[in-house]
Structure 1
Amino acid sequence: MVHLGKTLLVANPVSQNGNGAVAAHRAGEALRSRLGEDRFDLVMTEAPAHGKRIAEESAGYDTVVALGGDGLIHEVVNGLMSIGEAERPALGVLPMGSGNDYARTLGLSFDLERSLKQLESARPRLFDLGLCNGEYFAETLSFGLDAAIALDTVERRKRTGKTGTPLFLASGIDMLLHHIKEYRFTASLDGGEPFESSMLLFAVQVGPTYGGGFRICPEAKTDDALLDLCIAHPPLGIPKAVFIFLLAKDAHHTGFKQLEFKRASMLRIEFDEQPPAQIDGEPIPSLTYDVSVAAHALRVLVP
């Protein structure tokens, strides 16, 4: 692990229903023993947005490792991007969340011991980030039904203890049956002519998955300097919507005529009515969204 250099482990102790604290201590012992006492530090987050504040002050480190879910990664990424490129640490990930979509994109194991071994052999690659209304996202930005599902899972996880695919399936079916709604919007891609349309969901992806492994944009690549878009247009009845939702788990949804796939490096979306909206699983309410790709913006450790 010498290639990690001086390393800061940022851990969310309440991730995965409280398992994060135990995992952080186990990972901390392993990293400290391999890197040395003077080349390793562990900081636990204590409140929302704390991960961002910790990462903002990490310029003296070579690597910042986020142990938690996509929400913590989102915070750490935004903190790292406040540091100048020359001093900015690389990002490492030890997955300990309910969805772990960014970890999937990196090809990481969800088993702590295995992901630690992957970190040992990982090497940095330059990854794209998305940028929406001044906030970076590592994996996903979405509006409408899929955002409603993502935001609902936070409360549902606390209530049921479910994680991963079962959590997102339960939320998705409930939203599809009871909360499906269309939203009118005006959009322009890459500065082109604005167009008006309506949508049930609108996903903007850096990586291919969201919602705990649903491959909404299966062709998305993290280093092509493009954002992949999936727009579901009405009309779409509940039975067909549920069917497409289930097919999306394994990327078998792409042939339906109601789904439109596009790529862009920049887009502007204006909604007539504020839709549910999420950025890496966190709410981002607005009527207007200015979105762009930050190409090859962050060094990320990949096995």
Structure 2
Amino acid sequence: MRTKPELSATIRRERRAVLVVNAHSRRGRRLYEGARARLAAAGFTLLGAYPVDRPGELEQTLAAAADLGPDLLVAGGGDGTIGTAARLLAHRDIALGLLPLGTTNNFARTVGIPLDLDAAVEVLATGKVIDVDLGLVGDMRFTNHVGIGLSADVMLRTPPRLKRATGRLAYPLTALALLTRHRPLRATVRAEGREREFVTHQLYVANGGFHAGRPITADADADDRLLVGYPVGGATRRELLRDTARNAATGHRRTLREEPFLAVRQLWLETDRPAPVEVDGELYGETPIRIGLDPNALRIMAPADRPDR
């Protein structure tokens, strides 16, 4: 493995990269052409460039791209695309370059990548390589969060026909329908000699600093060797809706020292009944689960002024 300064210098000097863009939507196809043109204009030699039209082929395409031996693998898409690339590149001597082309772009926001395509390409050309942590559930790595409760039930129960007809709108529509009959969970979190109990409809454990495109707290990061566990609301549906709105509006003013956040390196989570679990928006399994960290697992091309802990 090269050192981070060595890999940074090689990327800036040689500019050997591969490009993989989730081009499943019409917007994705259009942005693929723009991303390819911008990278070429910035002096990158693309060993391969792949628009992925079928979501089921994304992981295989990313693996084939990495096998070409680039110094930089540029992934364009939303959090699902970036998370798949991150798992593939963990502990490898290849930096991940981010082109945030999704809706919320939580991981890109966490590591300071501009959402403007031109500015994001500029980071790839002039930035530096940093290390960031990945979360761990079993053997599965994740970039952003683990969700237990309503969010996992939504992933499990959203009708495929509704997704085809309304796209991302299918998830909040399903959430509203489920909420009328959703039962709260009694969740117990054990970590570092502490035990916390929550009665809530929704519990998150985050690795990154953003959720739904908004800051979780002002000091949460993917480079701090910490997971952040927190419930959203209490036992009533009204509290869930209130805290969802509060978190979106005030996250940038809150800190990890405040209630109800629990900042730890690993934790064990169990619920009063088996509850489905989603990891970065994909169904994973059921509680109980152990969630931990893989420190400094992923190399990212980040802005030159971004701190690297």
TM value normalised by structure 2:
0.79
- 2:223 is aligned to 223
Structure 1 residues 162 and 135 mapped into 2: Cα distance closer, same or farther (>3 Å)?
Answer: closer
Give the alignment partner of residue 26 of structure 1, picking from 34, 37, 44. 34
Q: What is the letter of the counterpart of residue 116 of structure 1? A: V
Q: Does 1:12 align with 2:22?
A: yes
Q: Does 1:104 align with 2:109?
A: yes
Give the alignment partner of residue 62 of structure 1, picking from 71, 86, 90. 71
Q: Which secondary structure state, in structure 2, belongs to the residue aligned with residue 273 of structure 1? A: coil
Whole-angstrom distance in 2 between the partners of 1:138 and 1:186: 23
Structure 1 residues 56 and 161 mapped into 2: Cα distance closer, same or farther (>3 Å)?
Answer: closer
Q: CA RMSD in A?
A: 3.2
The superposition leaves residues 13-49 of structure 1 with CA deviations (integer Å, 9 ceiling, x where unpaired) of: 02xx431111112211222343354x43212334445
In the TM superposition, what are the counterparts of 1:43-62 in structure 2 within 5 Å?
43-48=50-55, 50-57=57-64, 58-59=66-67, 60-62=69-71
Whole-angstrom distance in 1 between the partners of 2:238 and 2:300: 40
Give the CA deviation at 1:262. Answer: 0.4
- 2:176 is aligned to 174
- 1:183 is aligned to 185
Whole-angstrom distance in 1 between the partners of 2:207 and 2:225: 9
Q: Which secondary structure state, in structure 1, belongs to the residue aligned with residue 210 of structure 2? A: coil
In the TM superposition, what are the counterparts of 1:30-41 in structure 2 within 5 Å?
30-35=38-43, 37=45, 39-41=46-48
Q: What is the letter of the counterpart of residue 70 of structure 2? A: Y
Asked whether the 8 Å contact 1:215–1:250 carries over to 2, the reply is: no
Whole-angstrom distance in 2 between the partners of 1:36 and 1:216: 35
Asked whether the 8 Å contact 2:130–2:301 carries over to 1, the reply is: yes
The superposition leaves residues 102-128 of structure 1 with CA deviations (integer Å, 9 ceiling, x where unpaired) of: 122123333322322333222111111
Asked whether the 8 Å contact 1:31–1:40 carries over to 2, the reply is: no
Q: Does 1:133 align with 2:134?
A: no
- 2:244 is aligned to 245
Asked whether the 8 Å contact 1:101–1:139 carries over to 2, the reply is: yes
| Identity %, equivalent residues | 24
Give the alignment partner of residue 93 of structure 1, picking from 91, 98, 110. 98
Give the alignment partner of residue 144 of structure 1, picking from 143, 149, 167. 149
Structure 1 residues 2 and 254 mapped into 2: Cα distance closer, same or farther (>3 Å)?
Answer: closer
Q: Which secondary structure state, in structure 1, belongs to the residue aligned with residue 40 of structure 2? A: helix
Asked whether the 8 Å contact 1:186–1:197 carries over to 2, the reply is: yes
Q: What is the letter of the counterpart of residue 263 of structure 2? A: R
Structure 1 residues 89 and 40 mapped into 2: Cα distance closer, same or farther (>3 Å)?
Answer: same
The superposition leaves residues 201-231 of structure 1 with CA deviations (integer Å, 9 ceiling, x where unpaired) of: 21111112212x2333443122111111112
The superposition leaves residues 257-289 of structure 1 with CA deviations (integer Å, 9 ceiling, x where unpaired) of: xx6210111112233433342211212122332
Q: What is the letter of the counterpart of residue 191 of structure 2? A: L
In the TM superposition, what are the counterparts of 1:246-261 in structure 2 within 5 Å?
246-251=245-250, 260-261=260-261
TM value normalised by structure 1:
0.80
Whole-angstrom distance in 1 between the partners of 2:117 and 2:191: 40
Whole-angstrom distance in 1 between the partners of 2:17 and 2:112: 21
Gaps of 5+ in 1: none
Q: Which secondary structure state, in structure 1, belongs to the residue aligned with residue 260 of structure 2? A: strand
Whole-angstrom distance in 1 between the partners of 2:122 and 2:196: 48
